[in-house]
Amino acid sequence: MTGHIMPTYGRLDITLDRGEGVWLWDQADKRYLDALSGIAVCNLGHAHPAVHKALCEQSAKLVHTSNLYGVALQEQLADQLTAKSGMNNVFFCNSGAEANEASIKLARRFGHQQGITNPAILVMEKSFHGRTLATLSATGNLKIQQGFAPLVEGFIRVPYNDVPAIEQALQQHDNIVAILLEPIQGEGGVNIPAPDYLNQIRVLCDRHDLLMMLDEVQTGIGRTGKFLAYQHNGITPDVCSLAKALGNGVPIGACLAKGKAAQVLTAGSHGSTFGGNPLACSAALAVLATLDQERLIEQAEAKGGKIVQGLTRQLKNNPQVRAIRHKGLMLGIELDSPCHDLVGDALTRGLLINVTNETTIRLLPPLIIDAEQIDSLISLLSNVIHAHTARR
Ligand SMILES: *Cc1c(COP(=O)(O)O)cnc(C)c1O
């Protein structure tokens, strides 16, 4: 590998060359089952014909104009996103961190409009919101913040899945204007909160006139079995950030707002050169159409359940497996000790997975995974786990 890439990633020793559906091939033509989807990005799998067609047609027509002019595909995409989410309007950008930056700026401006000159946002322990200065400051992980002080101020942190801790913080501070959280924590270890956690936060936000801001960058676009994870709770937030799977690999992010939050960012208050350009929007429109046509979101819960059932059967006698968690096709298998080695073991056997929060194996397979591929995933992964735990 070239030495001219900044070493910000500890990369695995393969280079992927092409893909089709759930499969990837490296430069040596070895095949891998992708159970990570480029970290919750390629929900339609690799080289999906609908995305390919949209990109070919749009790139022959118009790639970019800038947001100084009307962008028809952006308007179409905003119409569909608001209809599917129950939100009112959308700001388009290029990544999850940027979508959260928009949320954070929106919350601060909302505070200032109410006469709060030092607005604070309540954030969670073990959260992940991105790598820009504001979003890494919001992130609840010291490793990610290490070396980047002074951090952006204006964040107050409480434990995840702990409503009394939020109530206490609201009593202690009179400058909180918003609560920012993930409906399920991804990087933090696939942490699934109590079923009514989001509902309770909705009630608190209404009572205290706070913005409820959900980071759905990982959970959104069907991953958990609903278009957005908050739809399991029958609520809508005031602000919602999206990215990852929205373009199936073409960079696009979105910050959606509703009600009073939808009026906060006005002309000149925020922007992005690339945000929502015709090429990225054409990919996102193809993604939304394909999710509907192939009824993929409706199948995510059953597919995830089948993976959990299979893994539970294979691993039930393994005392080092502590828990298996899932919502739709977002899955975590927690072991009783750090298990980073597992990623390399799986790679050797032709399976792409990830380990997060030291001890949790994370699976984010493409939503298009079929029954036979699910069986392969179960058998490959349980073999990798048994081999790993047998060595310890
Ligand atoms: C990946 C992720 C982000 C950051 O997205 P980028 O596109 O890498 O900036 C933010 N929030 C959550 C929950 C994520 O999973």
- pLDDT one-digit tens code per residue, 20-37: 999 999 999 999 999 999
- Res. 161 pLDDT band, cuts 50 70 90: very high
Instruction: State mean pLDDT over 278-294.
Output: 98
Q: How far apart are CA 297 and CA 199, in angstroms?
A: 22
Give yes or no for residue 97 CB within 6 A of ligand 1. Answer: yes
Whole-number pLDDT of residue 1: 56
Residue 295, pLDDT > 90, answer yes
- pLDDT one-digit tens code per residue, 193-212: 999 999 999 999 999 999 99
Residue 130, pLDDT > 80, answer yes
- The residue whose two tokens read 């993929």 is 296
Name the residues annotated as catalytic.
Answer: 128, 215, 244
Q: Which has the closest alpha carbon to 241: 229, 254, 223, 251?
A: 254
**How distant, in Å, are the alpha carbons of 1, 165, 185, 238 from that of 246?**
30, 33, 18, 20
Whole-number pLDDT of residue 276: 98
3-state secondary structure of 310: helix
Q: Which atom of ligand 1 is nearest to the CA of 96?
A: 5
Q: Domain limits of the chain?
A: 16-34+295-391, 50-293
Q: How far apart are CA 282 and CA 272, in angstroms?
A: 18
Instruction: State mean pLDDT over 359-379.
Output: 98
Q: How far apart are CA 146 and CA 140, in angstroms?
A: 12
Give yes or no for residue 222 CB within 6 A of ligand 1. Answer: no
- Res. 392 pLDDT band, cuts 50 70 90: confident
Q: Which has the closest alpha carbon to 27: 47, 13, 39?
A: 13
- The residue whose two tokens read 């676009």 is 221
371-390 and 296-315 are packed helices; what angle lies between their axes, rounded to 10 degrees?
A: 30
Instruction: State mean pLDDT over 266-291.
Output: 97
Instruction: State mean pLDDT over 331-343.
Output: 97
Residue 233, pLDDT > 80, answer yes
Q: Using the mean position of ligand 1's atoms as its centre, give its distance from the Cα of residue 278 in Å.
A: 22
Cut 0.75: pTM above it = yes
Whole-number pLDDT of residue 2: 67
Q: Atom 5 in ligand 1: which residue has the minimum CA distance?
A: 96
Residue 153, pLDDT > 60, answer yes
**Cβ atoms within 10 A of the Cβ of 9, count?**
7
Whole-number pLDDT of residue 201: 98
Rounded percentage of the chain residues whose pLDDT exceeds 70: 99
- In testing the pocket of ligand 1, which one of 217, 223, 240, 252 has its CB within 8 Å of the most ligand atoms? 217
Q: Atom 6 in ligand 1: which residue has the minimum CA distance?
A: 96
> What is the CATH number assigned to the segment(s) 16-34+295-391?
3.90.1150.10
Whole-number pLDDT of residue 217: 98
Q: Which atom of ligand 1 is nearest to the CA of 219?
A: 13
Q: How far apart are CA 307 and CA 352, in angstroms?
A: 15
Residue 82, pLDDT > 60, answer yes
Residue 266, pLDDT > 80, answer yes
Rounded percentage of the chain residues whose pLDDT exceeds 90: 99
Q: Which atom of ligand 1 is nearest to the CA of 98?
A: 9
Give yes or no for residue 362 CB within 6 A of ligand 1. Answer: no
Average pLDDT value for the chain: 97
- In testing the pocket of ligand 1, which one of 39, 94, 98, 218 has its CB within 8 Å of the most ligand atoms? 218
Give yes or no for residue 109 CB within 6 A of ligand 1. Answer: no
Give yes or no for residue 251 CB within 6 A of ligand 1. Answer: no
Q: Please, are residues 64 and 36 in contact by the beta-carbon 8 Å criterion?
A: no
Q: Which atom of ligand 1 is nearest to the CA of 127?
A: 13
Cα angle: 204, vertex 209, 210; to 5 degrees = 70
Q: Which residues of 155-170 are buried (b: 16+ CB within 10 A; e: fewer)?
A: bbbbebbebebbeebb
| Statement: 50-293 belongs to CATH 3.10.690.10 | no
Give yes or no for residue 96 CB within 6 A of ligand 1. Answer: yes
- In testing the pocket of ligand 1, which one of 129, 131, 182 has its CB within 8 Å of the most ligand atoms? 129
Residue 61, pLDDT > 70, answer yes
**How distant, in Å, are the alpha carbons of 97, 183, 297 from that of 215?**
10, 7, 19
Give yes or no for residue 223 CB within 6 A of ligand 1. Answer: no
